[in-house]
């Protein structure tokens, strides 16, 4: 899509343009959080590429998608990136096993809850036999979905989560279909349910059993309460021994094949991982000496993503790589096993975030600006004293006095508003006072940005009063974790990286909710509260000012909600061409040399309403009847088109 030779790489002699590009990327931290997948072309546009995939000019791509009829906001899914990430995890474990002479082997598992959208599962299913990945479910629909996939010998299908009898039956059914199913017990009650369901009929194939252990070791980061003795998950040691006793009693202890633990998602430090693996390996070895059929040690998920590029233990980063994770895990397990003479277990990991976070880029367009500087209105011939005071403050505000003058300006502005309330100031005077105060604030902001010598309070106030750009999306739908758990995502505009984007703006979304704003962008040197853009950007046609949020591929799709009735966005799926791609009747959105580009349209207005429990047909019929009855100017046909429209802002 974009010739590789136009990609900038750090040459020996850096041209001025290259320095500009690097400075621009550094402003957003993209030189660090995006170093594996972002670069910039000669036009100053961002290029996305991972592994050996051809680089994509994101700005050009979005314009093509727009031309093909789908507008922003949208999610770009580079699904080959998922296979690339799966391969990286597998290769890291294979290399670690080889280096330590580890004999147990490794199998990856994809936990479907991390992103259950169909293009993601399709991408995983396409390569899982080749790359050796099993699947994991934590609910009944998830289990139905993964058991409907083609079984692959030697690749387990794990059942986690809390299970009732119906869930157990589904697991037995999946085993009969041909999957190697392991039901991971969360409680003793689940064991009883399992045994009852087993007795229900003559199943011709049965799942095996695993136990989720409640480790004492905890993770580190936002999800550390998933582990530790107070966690809501898993069996204590006494309970695990009771499971074994009960199974021995019914002659079924040989059904136990797996020991599992999971100490949380986005684990920021490697040390707690090592400690948990050590504890888990000891448990595994001791249990294995009682239950010879145990063969899997399932470490759960948790590999952290370096969202802010700091490669540190900050909550939006991780201080280790996938390779270091694999090395440490294999080393710890083999050390425990070798020391105590345990056989090496087959290692399973349920890392999801590490496989899918990178593949998705969420694109929105920046719209109208709040806080535009409008001309100061003409006032009465005899200018009011308060207006003259504001005018002279504006004329004399400077670096050495801006804090004091800003305080004066606030007093004058407040006095002007009080005078207006008491009837001593005209509407034009009030408007002039507001406009002059706005200019003084902008001037003080400029000075404070360059030489912040004012108080922290003033800097904070000026920051809040920044120019606001409206991003055409809903954070509740597209980056819900930002709102709910302060998960910070990296972002950057799609173009302008050959210039000096040094105009900090606030980004607010289009929901009618004051929480609907993005006031933190991941950055390695401390998150940004505003996004630096080009000052001229607000004069552009809005559809050209695109902003991308990166690393949005894990969890956001399922957690996104319909607050304000903004529905799921358009999805554009890009993958390299396959031999099997249809020649005629191609489902491609547009032809492209490098990628097969297809689209799954987002929710229409009527689909969103239907999701909220309104019957689409009744709604349609009632709108048509009322428009016809009232002979509305736009007519019934128009109303139907409006129902089929996209809830987000259109051009
Ligand atoms: N396995 C279990 C049991 C989980 O609860 C989770 C998520 O919290 C995962 C795997 C996936 O974790 P991650 O996406 O952090 O790799």
| 80-356 matches 370-464 in fold | no
Query: Mean pLDDT, to the nearest integer, of 581-585?
Result: 67
How remote is the CA of residue 90 from the centroid of ligand 1, in Å? 17
How remote is the CA of residue 571 from the centroid of ligand 1, in Å? 24
Asked if residues 639 and 631 have their Cβ atoms less than 8 Å apart, the reply is: no
d(CA 454, CA 262): 48
12-16, 269-273, 288-292, 532-536: least confidently modelled range:
12-16
| pLDDT at residue 543, as a whole number | 44
Asked if residues 397 and 410 have their Cβ atoms less than 8 Å apart, the reply is: no
Residue of 269, 302, 359 to test ligand 1 pocket, by largest number of atoms within 8 Å of CB = 302
- DSSP 8-state assignment for residue 645: S
Ligand 1 first shell, C-beta below 6 A: 111, 114, 160, 262, 265-266, 300-303, 350-354, 554
d(CA 572, CA 598): 6
How remote is the CA of residue 188 from the centroid of ligand 1, in Å? 22
Proportion of the chain above pLDDT 70, given as a percent:
92
CA angle 181, 183, 184 (to 5 degrees): 135
- Compute CA distances 277 → 268, 339, 445, whole Å: 15, 15, 51
d(CA 323, CA 316): 19
Which of 421, 362, 393 shows the shortest CA–CA distance to 554?
362
| pLDDT at residue 229, as a whole number | 62
Q: Which residue, by CA, sits nearest to atom 8 of ligand 1?
A: 265
How remote is the CA of residue 161 from the centroid of ligand 1, in Å? 11
Which of 459, 636, 475, 466 shows the shortest CA–CA distance to 549?
475
Query: Mean pLDDT, to the nearest integer, of 541-545?
Result: 55
Asked if residues 183 and 156 have their Cβ atoms less than 8 Å apart, the reply is: no
pLDDT at 204 over 80: yes
More reliable by pLDDT, 389 or 224: 389
Strands 468-471, 106-111: parallel, antiparallel or unpaired by DSSP?
Answer: unpaired
Phi and psi torsions of 144, nearest 5°: -60, -40
How remote is the CA of residue 80 from the centroid of ligand 1, in Å? 22
More reliable by pLDDT, 31 or 230: 31
Atom of ligand 1 nearest to the CA of 160: 3
β strands within 481-533, DSSP E: 491-493, 503-508, 517-518, 531-533
Atom of ligand 1 nearest to the CA of 111: 10
pLDDT class for 584, splitting at 50, 70, 90? low
pLDDT class for 451, splitting at 50, 70, 90? confident
Q: Which residue, by CA, sits nearest to atom 6 of ligand 1?
A: 301
How remote is the CA of residue 226 from the centroid of ligand 1, in Å? 9
pLDDT class for 285, splitting at 50, 70, 90? very high
Scored b (16 or more CB within 10 A) or e, 435-461 reads bbbbbbbbbbbebbeeeeebeeebbeb
More reliable by pLDDT, 5 or 236: 236
| 3.90.1150.10, 3.30.465.10, 3.20.20.10, 3.40.50.300: CATH of 80-356 | 3.20.20.10
79-93, 429-443, 583-597: least confidently modelled range:
583-597
Task: Delimit the domains of the chain by residue range.
Answer: 80-356, 370-464, 607-644
Q: Which residue, by CA, sits nearest to atom 10 of ligand 1?
A: 301
pLDDT class for 116, splitting at 50, 70, 90? very high
How remote is the CA of residue 160 from the centroid of ligand 1, in Å? 10
Q: What is the dihedral of CA 260, 262, 263, 267, to 10 degrees?
A: 130
Query: Mean pLDDT, to the nearest integer, of 427-445?
Result: 92
Atom of ligand 1 nearest to the CA of 212: 3
Q: Which fold has domain 370-464?
A: Methane Monooxygenase Hydroxylase; Chain G, domain 1 (1.20.58)
Q: Where do we find the tokens 């697991």?
A: 171
**Cβ-Cβ contacts under 8 Å for 209 (sequence gap 6 or more):** 182, 183, 184, 185, 191, 194, 247, 255, 256, 257, 258
pLDDT at 464 over 90: no
At 320-365, the pLDDT tens digits run 999 999 999 999 999 999 999 999 999 999 999 999 999 999 999 9
> Before 88, cis peptide (omega within 30)?
no
Which of 131, 211, 143, 141 shows the shortest CA–CA distance to 179?
143
| pLDDT at residue 579, as a whole number | 83
How remote is the CA of residue 30 from the centroid of ligand 1, in Å? 27
| pLDDT at residue 13, as a whole number | 52
pLDDT at 219 over 90: no
| pLDDT at residue 370, as a whole number | 67
| pLDDT at residue 505, as a whole number | 86
- Summary mean pLDDT of the chain: 91
Return the H-helix or E-strand segment holding 552: none
Return the H-helix or E-strand segment holding 208: strand 208-212
Return the H-helix or E-strand segment holding 260: strand 256-260
Q: How does DSSP assign 166-182, residue by residue?
A: HHHHHHHHHHHHT-EEE
30-34, 396-400, 579-583, 609-613: least confidently modelled range:
579-583
The SS3 assignment for 470 reads: strand
Q: How does DSSP assign 285-333, residue by residue?
A: HHHHHH-TT--EEE----B---TTS--SSSTT--SS-HHHHHHHHHHHH
Which of 66, 3, 60, 70 shows the shortest CA–CA distance to 593?
3
Query: Mean pLDDT, to the nearest integer, of 286-293?
Result: 96
- DSSP 8-state assignment for residue 528: B
The SS3 assignment for 575 reads: strand
Q: Which residue, by CA, sits nearest to atom 7 of ligand 1?
A: 265
Atom of ligand 1 nearest to the CA of 114: 14
Atom of ligand 1 nearest to the CA of 303: 16
How remote is the CA of residue 391 from the centroid of ligand 1, in Å? 60
Q: Which residue, by CA, sits nearest to atom 9 of ligand 1?
A: 301
| pLDDT at residue 63, as a whole number | 95
Proportion of the chain above pLDDT 90, given as a percent:
78
Atom of ligand 1 nearest to the CA of 554: 14
- Compute CA distances 139 → 116, 159, 163, 227, whole Å: 12, 8, 8, 20
How remote is the CA of residue 302 from the centroid of ligand 1, in Å? 6
More reliable by pLDDT, 637 or 380: 637
Q: Which residue, by CA, sits nearest to atom 11 of ligand 1?
A: 301
């Amino acid at each position: 899509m974009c010739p590789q030779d136009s990609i900038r790489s750090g040459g020996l002699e850096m041209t001025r343009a290259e320095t500009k590009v690097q400075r621009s990327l550094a402003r957003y931290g993209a030189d660090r959080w995006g170093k594996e997948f972002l670069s910039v072309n000669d036009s100053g546009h961002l290029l996305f590429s991972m592994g050996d995939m051809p680089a994509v000019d994101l700005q050009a791509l979005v314009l093509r998608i727009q031309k093909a009829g789908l507008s922003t906001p949208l999610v770009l899914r580079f699904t080959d990136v998922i296979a690339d990430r799966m391969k990286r995890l597998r290769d890291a474990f294979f290399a670690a096993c080889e280096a330590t002479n580890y004999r147990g082997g490794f199998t990856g598992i994809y936990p479907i809850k991390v992103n259950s959208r169909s293009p993601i599962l399709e991408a995983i299913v396409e390569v899982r036999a080749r790359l050796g990945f099993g699947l994991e479910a934590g609910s009944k629909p998830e289990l139905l979905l993964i058991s409907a996939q083609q079984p692959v010998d030697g690749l387990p299908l794990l059942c986690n989560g809390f299970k009732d009898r119906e869930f157990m039956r589904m697991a037995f059914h999946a085993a009969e279909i041909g999957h190697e199913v392991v039901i991971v017990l969360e409680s003793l009650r689940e064991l009883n349910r399992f045994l009852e369901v087993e007795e229900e009929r003559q199943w011709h194939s049965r799942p095996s059993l695993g136990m989720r252990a409640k480790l004492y070791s905890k993770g580190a980061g936002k999800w550390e309460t998933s582990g530790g003795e107070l966690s809501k998950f898993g069996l204590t040691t006494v309970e695990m021994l009771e499971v074994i006793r009960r199974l021995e009693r019914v002659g079924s202890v040989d059904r136990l094949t797996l020991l599992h633990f999971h100490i949380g998602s986005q684990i920021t430090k490697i040390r707690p991982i090592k400690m948990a693996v050590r504890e888990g390996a000891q448990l595994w070895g001791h249990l294995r000496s009682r239950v010879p059929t145990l063969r899997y040690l399932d470490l759960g998920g948790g590999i952290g993503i370096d969202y802010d590029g700091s490669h540190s233990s900050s909550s939006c980063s991780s201080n280790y790589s996938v390779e270091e994770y694999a090395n440490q895990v294999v080393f710890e397990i083999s050390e425990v096993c070798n020391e105590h003479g345990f056989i090496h277990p087959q290692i399973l990991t349920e890392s999801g975030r590490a496989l899918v976070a990178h593949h998705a880029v969420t694109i929105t367009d920046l719209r109208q600006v709040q806080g535009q500087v409008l001309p100061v209105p003409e006032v009465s011939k005899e200018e009011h004293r308060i207006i003259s005071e504001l005018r002279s403050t504006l004329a004399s505000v400077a670096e050495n006095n801006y804090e004091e003058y800003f305080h004066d300006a606030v007093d004058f502005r407040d006095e002007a508003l009080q005078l207006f309330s008491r009837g001593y100031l005209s509407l034009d005077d009030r408007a002039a006072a507001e406009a002059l105060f706005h200019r003084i604030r902008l001037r003080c902001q400029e000075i404070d940005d360059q030489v912040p010598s004012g108080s922290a309070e003033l800097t904070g106030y000026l920051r809040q009063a920044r120019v606001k750009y409206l991003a055409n999306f809903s954070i509740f739908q597209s980056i819900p974790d930002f709102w709910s758990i302060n998960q910070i995502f990296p972002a950057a505009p799609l173009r302008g990286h050959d210039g000096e984007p040094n105009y900090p703006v606030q980004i607010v979304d289009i929901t009618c909710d004051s929480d609907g704003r993005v006031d933190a962008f991941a950055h390695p040197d401390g998150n940004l509260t505003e996004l630096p853009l080009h000052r001229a950007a607000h004069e552009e046609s809005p559809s050209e000012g695109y902003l991308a949020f990166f690393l949005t591929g894990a969890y956001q799709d399922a957690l996104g909600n319909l607050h304000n009735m903004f529905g799921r966005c358009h999805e554009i799926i890009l993958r390299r061409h396959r031999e099997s791609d249809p020649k005629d009747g191609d489902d491609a959105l547009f032809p492209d040399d490098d990628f097969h580009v297809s689209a799954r349209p987002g929710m229409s207005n009527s689909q969103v309403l239907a999701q909220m429990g309104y019957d689409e047909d009744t709604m349609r019929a009632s709108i048509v009847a009322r428009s016809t009855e009232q002979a509305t100017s736009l007519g019934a046909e128009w109303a139907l088109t409006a129902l089929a429209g996209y809830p987000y802002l259109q051009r």
